[in-house]
Structure 1
Amino acid sequence: MRDIQQVLERWGAWVADNKEDACWPGVAAGLSSLIPSKVKTRVQCCDEDGITISNVMAGLRAKHPAAYDLLFDYYVFGKTFMQLAREHHCSDGHIGKKLQNAEGVVDGYLMALGIKLEIDKYIMR
């Protein structure tokens, strides 16, 4: 079974370090200066996996924009539960549940589409 949190952590690091803004021209263009340097030093996925997960995330953005925003803020920008809770006007426990739900949706997309990732061999539970 795939550890979706590890997949998203590596994807988030890949997006944060994507200097060319290849996959996020409308989203990341001009935002690279907002990403803290500590976020850019994490372990990343390969480009092929990054593009694949970005495509899944684009589908999530179209269907569930709130879940997409939460995942993007947490995994790309590296915001804490407390920061997210303050922004969403709820408790950090509620943010944890929302994140878990959003992670489940992404994992479900990957499973339903039968997508195999290169990083799966490193992060299987």
Structure 2
Amino acid sequence: MRDIHESLELWGAWAASENSGVDFSPIAAGFKGLLPQTSKSRLQCSDDEGVMIDGCIARLKKIRFDEYELIILHYVLNVSLRKIAKKRKCSDGTIRKELQRALGFILGVMHLINNHI
């Protein structure tokens, strides 16, 4: 089984290719101009895995919007954690802690989903 970072990297590419049901803005909260314009393709997860992770991300959005936005910026839009910290005017450590909370939430939801199927 893949680790959560790799799974979210693959999901991010899948979501960026407009497969995602999670409604996110391609220009999120003042990050216009920070996003690199790339046309190269990224490896993606399967549709089944993408839909499952999408559901977890949608639940995160309802409960912890700031952490949801961080997941979208980092994994879908490929904004570095350092750029996010600079834009939010906080330390890299603060952003990393917020990311860890979001990943813990996503892993917990994934665990619940996998145990009920």
Name the count of aligned residue pairs.
Answer: 109
- How many angstroms apart in 1 are the aligned matches of 2:115 and 2:12? 18
Report the alpha carbon displacement of residue 35 of structure 1 after superposing the two structures with TM. Answer: 6.8
Task: Note the 1:13-32 alignment, pairs <5 A.
Answer: 13-18=13-18, 23-24=21-22, 26-28=23-25, 31=26
Cα distance change of structure 1 residues 36 and 104 upon mapping to structure 2, 3 Å threshold: farther
Superposed CA deviations along residues 70-91 of structure 1, whole A, max 9, x for unmatched, are 1110000100111110122211
Q: What letter matches 2:24 in structure 1?
A: V
Mind listing any 5+ residue stretches in structure 1 that lack a counterpart? 117-125
Q: Which has the higher relative contact order, 1 or 2, with Cα contacts under 8 A spaced 6 or more apart?
A: 1
Deviation at 1:102, TM superposition (A): 0.8
Kept after mapping to 2: 8 A contact 1:16/1:76: yes
Percent identity over the alignment? 34
With structure 2 as the length reference, what TM-score do the two structures score? 0.79
> Normalised by the size of structure 1, how large is the TM-score?
0.75
Aligned pair in 2 of structure 1 residues 4, 110: CA closer, same or farther (>3 Å)?
same
Name the CA distance, whole Å, in 2 between partners of 1:36 and 1:51: 26
SS of the residue 1:110 aligns to: helix
Q: Decide whether aligned partners of structure 1 residues 22 and 6 sit closer, same or farther in structure 2, where only a CA change above 3 A counts.
A: closer
Where has structure 1 moved over 6 Å in runs of 4 or more?
none
Structure 2 counterpart SS, 1:36: coil
Q: What letter is aligned with 1:70?
A: L
Amino acid at match of 1:99: L
Question: What one-letter code is carried by the residue in structure 1 that aligns with 2:104?
Answer: G
Q: CA deviation at 1:9?
A: 0.6
